[in-house]
């Protein structure tokens, strides 16, 4: 029942319809009707009808109160979610062995806890000194002044003696090295910002000049393709997957509907699944498309040795592969358009130096939640700016592992797939570049795929994406130095491709904004200028968001979230660089199985019979194993986690923001406050998919 103050404000008359409010709980309310304007509203446009105006003012008040109740309901729901999550107590320790180096994780978390405890002690210390009137701003902190002050005023009690000694230690011993480290990180920050600006200028130039790769003199006629056609080489299509129960159907269906002569295409479904039920479902799907006339085969490995690289390497050892000139790779959640091959393969004709054609990714679930929106900003910049600029001006970029077409000669001549890192796609791209092969990136050819919708899945993906390049850098640095390529190409690979974008970026992001900035609040003699804390990061975020203009309202959450993710990226970078823990562990990114708009419209009219492979001799044993797996899966409950490092950093940053109030540092305070809240939300797993 609504509160009395709510019901007593209702009114009648004026030809309108009264507001009807239903409110059972703070979260559960609705507006059935809001009073519509009557004739008097148009007869007295200048507000002569005071009575009517008063009633409209009351309506506005009610609507504002409703919105206030909605906001209160949201906060109530958020508070209950936080209480429930904290009471559950499920932390990220359970999956640390899968996604992180246990040594690095433990040491990093221990360091963060030590910093947090010191920050709390120092905050109490500074508060006590502040209320005694012994708080000094930076201009006052000169050694001569402090020595004089120590000998006169502060030595009246023990606290004054201790505080004066602490200030002297700060000025003499702690501030100089901290300021040096801050200046070094600022230099790295400026260099990386200049690199980002140059990439953006290159992208603007491409747009202004309308530069794009063009396949010259190639026309495709699918009707005569089987009889020779214009340019229809033999194409092998590979779909590597592992326990991809949610997405295998749409991926296989999309690839089977590629427009290419049936006699000149072969589809390999490379299944690494260790779940018997998933194996049976994928095998059944392949059999169904074989009955439909698709040239598709199913391959399954007994073990996942080498992960995706091992899977692809095993498939390339088949004797029939030598008959194919090109190989196209699609991960299990990718849904290429039917004209994908006809828009990519023609670029290879009369271009014998071309080894790879890469298409752009687009995302079916980019608007699913805040996490996917923020990922879309990052990846839109990666494809629209980084890949396109590097492809146009350098003929080189990192292969994205999927939605690309390789020339077989380039793949085999560069050493084929190697199992030495978890970024086999970047590995083969670097080796092909060292062998002189050129790459083309097609920004106008898109392939639909999924973004991770939960923070746990995204975190695991980012750990692999940032530990793998550091493994590869250690392994291929001697080859880059010895390679017979220009000094410019070597410098681009070593400094820009690896050091600046894969190592320096996560290092300074974490060190500058999560370590140095909080420390400067407690050691105010070392300072970070406002343009480092606010203006340059805001400018870089604005440049990052330009390829996805619809995401402009999320520019502040994007900036904060990128700094929050620097912890995971820094941890992964250290693991990969020093070959620690899970640097070689591959965790398949969880998929939800969302399809592109229309969900393969070309299949609407097709209703093939679902054929079961009942002739398999081991089907009974397989079904029994499926039942056992299902019983085990039923015992596992899906839930959100609490991430301890992020929570500890949230407390550290919020403590530093409280300390900054004593120094009246406005921009620093707001940055630390909002950054701390960002870490808090991520630490409680309140971003991304929520499991009730």
The residue with tokens 């991809």 is 244
Residue with tokens 């309310």: 29
Q: Residue by residue, what is the 3-state secondary structure of 112-135?
A: HHHHHHHHHHHHHHHHHHHHCCCC
Out of 3-12, 117-126, 237-246, 447-456, which region has the weakest mean confidence (pLDDT)? 3-12
- The per-residue pLDDT for range 48-83, each reduced to its tens digit, is 555 555 556 666 676 767 766 666 666 566 666 666
Work out the mean pLDDT of the chain and round it to a whole number: 81
Q: Tell me the per-residue pLDDT of 200-230, one tens digit each, with 9 for 90 and over.
A: 999 999 999 999 999 876 666 666 554 445 7
- Residue 166, pLDDT score: 84
pLDDT of residue 40: 47
Residue 89 has pLDDT above 90, yes or no: no
**How sure is the predictor about 664, in pLDDT bands with cuts at 50, 70 and 90?**
low
Q: Given this model, what pLDDT does residue 539 score?
A: 92
Residues annotated as catalytic (active site), given as ranges: 272, 425
Quick check: 422 and 585 in contact, CB under 8 A?
Answer: yes
User: Which of 225-229, 267-271, 683-687 has maximum average pLDDT?
Assistant: 267-271
What is the structure's pLDDT at 105?
59
E strand or H helix at 278: helix 276-291
Q: Which residues pair with 448 in a beta bridge?
A: 335, 362
The whole-number pLDDT of residue 106 equals 72
The mean pLDDT of 307-333, rounded to a whole number, is 94
Instruction: List the Cα angle 385/389/393 in 5-degree steps.
Output: 175
| Residue whose C-alpha is closest to residue 194's, from 501, 458, 470 | 501
Indicate the pLDDT class of residue 656, thresholds 50, 70 and 90.
very high
Mean pLDDT value of segment 624-629: 54
Nearest to 462 by CA among 452, 471, 473, 476: 452
Predicted pLDDT at 150: 54
What is the per-residue burial (b if ≥16 Cβ within 10 Å, else e) of 176-187?
Answer: eebbebbeebbe
**Contact predicate 573/501, CB 8 Å:** no
Report residue 139 as tokens: 């201009």
Does residue 455 have a pLDDT over 60?
A: yes
pLDDT band at 102 (very low <50, low <70, confident <90, very high): low
* pLDDT for res 25: 40
Is residue 623 within 8 A of residue 277, CB to CB? The reply is no
Is residue 593 predicted with pLDDT exceeding 90?
Answer: no
Residue 385: other Cβ atoms inside 10 A: 23
CA distance 492 to 503: 14
The pLDDT of residue 130 is 78
Question: Pairing between strand 235-241 and 326-329?
Answer: parallel
Q: How far apart are CA 76 and CA 71, in angstroms?
A: 9
Sorting pLDDT into bands at 50, 70 and 90, what band is 136? low
pLDDT greater than 50 at residue 10? no
Query: What's residue 30's pLDDT?
Result: 39
Name the pLDDT band for 615 (thresholds 50, 70, 90). very low
Of 35-49, 95-109, 349-363, 618-632, give the lowest mean pLDDT range. 35-49
Calculate what percentage of the chain has a pLDDT beyond 90.
55
- The pLDDT value recorded for residue 124 is 87
Q: What is the DSSP string of 654-683?
A: HHHHHHHHHTT-HHHHHHHHHHHHHHHHHH
381 pLDDT above the threshold of 90: yes
- pLDDT score for 449: 95
455 sits in which H/E element? helix 455-482
Backbone angles phi, psi at 75, to 5 degrees: -65, -35
Helix/strand/coil for 46: coil
Task: Report residue 195's pLDDT band, with 50, 70 and 90 as the boundaries.
Answer: very high
Q: Per-residue DSSP letters for 395-415?
A: S-----SSSEEEEHHHHHHTT
Q: Which residues contact 536 (CB under 8 A, 6 or more apart)?
A: 189, 190, 193
Rounded CA separation 107/101 (Å): 10
Q: Look at 33-47, 98-112, 123-137, 291-305 and tell me which has the smallest mean pLDDT.
A: 33-47
pLDDT of the residue at 291: 95
């Amino acid at each position: 029942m609504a509160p009395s103050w709510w019901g007593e404000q209702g009114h009648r008359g004026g030809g309108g319809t009264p507001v009807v409010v239903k409110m059972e709980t703070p979260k559960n309310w609705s507006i059935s009707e809001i009073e519509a304007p009557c004739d008097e509203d148009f007869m007295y446009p200048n507000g002569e009808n005071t009575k009517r105006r008063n009633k409209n003012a009351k309506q506005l008040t009610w609507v504002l109160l409703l919105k206030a109740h909605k906001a209160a309901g949201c906060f109530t729901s958020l508070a209950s979610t936080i209480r429930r999550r904290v009471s559950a107590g499920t932390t990220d320790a359970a999956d640390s062995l899968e996604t992180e180096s246990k040594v690095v994780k433990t040491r990093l978390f221990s360091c963060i806890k030590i910093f947090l405890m010191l920050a709390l002690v120092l905050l109490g210390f500074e508060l006590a000194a502040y209320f005694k009137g012994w708080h000094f701003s930076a201009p006052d902190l000169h050694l001569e002044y402090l020595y004089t002050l120590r000998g006169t005023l502060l030595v009246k009690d023990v606290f004054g003696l201790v505080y004066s000694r602490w200030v002297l230690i700060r000025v003499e011993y702690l501030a100089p090295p901290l300021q040096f480290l801050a200046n070094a990180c600022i230099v790295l920050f400026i260099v990386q910002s200049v690199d980002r600006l140059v990439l953006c200028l290159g992208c603007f130039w491409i747009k202004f000049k309308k530069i794009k790769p063009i396949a010259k003199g190639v026309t495709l006629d699918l009707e005569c393709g089987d009889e020779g056609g214009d340019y229809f080489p033999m194409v092998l299509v590979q779909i590597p997957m592992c326990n991809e129960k949610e997405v295998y159907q749409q991926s296989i269906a999309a690839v089977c509907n590629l427009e290419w002569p049936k006699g000149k295409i072969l589809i390999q479904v490379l299944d690494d699944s260790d779940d018997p039920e998933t194996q049976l479902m994928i095998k059944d799907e392949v059999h169904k498309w074989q009955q439909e006339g698709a040239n598709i085969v199913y391959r399954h490995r007994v073990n996942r040795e080498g992960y995706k690289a091992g899977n692809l390497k095993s498939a390339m050892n088949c004797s029939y592969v030598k008959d194919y000139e090109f190989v196209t790779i699609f991960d299990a959640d990718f849904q290429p358009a039917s004209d994908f091959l006809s828009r990519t393969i023609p670029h290879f004709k009369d271009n014998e130096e071309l080894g790879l054609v890469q298409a752009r990714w687009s995302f079916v679930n980019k608007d699913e939640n805040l996490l996917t929106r923020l990922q879309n900003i990052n990846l839109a910049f990666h494809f629209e700016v980084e890949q396109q600029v590097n492809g146009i001006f350098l003929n080189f970029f990192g292969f994205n592992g999927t939605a690309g077409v390789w020339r077989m000669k380039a793949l085999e001549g560069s050493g084929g797939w190697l199992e030495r890192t978890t970024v086999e796609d970047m590995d083969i791209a670097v080796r092909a570049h060292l062998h002189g092969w050129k790459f083309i990136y097609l920004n106008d050819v898109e392939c639909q795929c999924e973004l991770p919708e939960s923070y746990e899945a995204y975190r695991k993906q980012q750990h692999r994406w940032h530990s793998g390049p550091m493994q590869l850098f250690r392994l291929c640095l001697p080859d880059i130095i010895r390679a017979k390529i220009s000094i410019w190409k070597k410098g681009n690979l070593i400094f820009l491709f690896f050091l600046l974008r894969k190592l320096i970026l996560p290092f300074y992001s974490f060190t500058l904004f999560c370590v140095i900035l909080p420390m400067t609040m407690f050691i105010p003699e070392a300072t970070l200028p406002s343009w480092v804390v606010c203006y340059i990061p805001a400018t870089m975020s604005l440049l990052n968001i330009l390829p996805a203009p619809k995401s402009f309202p999320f520019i502040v959450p994007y900036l904060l979230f990128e700094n929050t993710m620097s912890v995971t990226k820094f941890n992964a970078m250290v693991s990969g660089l020093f070959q620690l823990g899970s640097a070689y562990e591959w965790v398949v990114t969880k998929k939800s199985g969302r399809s592109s708009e229309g969900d393969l419209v070309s299949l609407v009219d097709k209703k093939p019979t679902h054929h079961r492979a009942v002739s398999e001799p081991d089907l009974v044993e397989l079904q029994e194993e499926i039942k056992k797996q299902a019983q085990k899966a039923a015992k596992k409950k899906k839930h959100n986690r609490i991430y301890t490092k992020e929570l500890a950093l949230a407390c550290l940053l919020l403590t530093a923001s409280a300390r900054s109030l004593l120094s009246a540092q406005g921009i620093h305070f707001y940055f630390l406050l909002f950054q701390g809240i960002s870490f808090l939300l991520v630490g409680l797993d309140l971003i991304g998919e929520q499991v009730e």
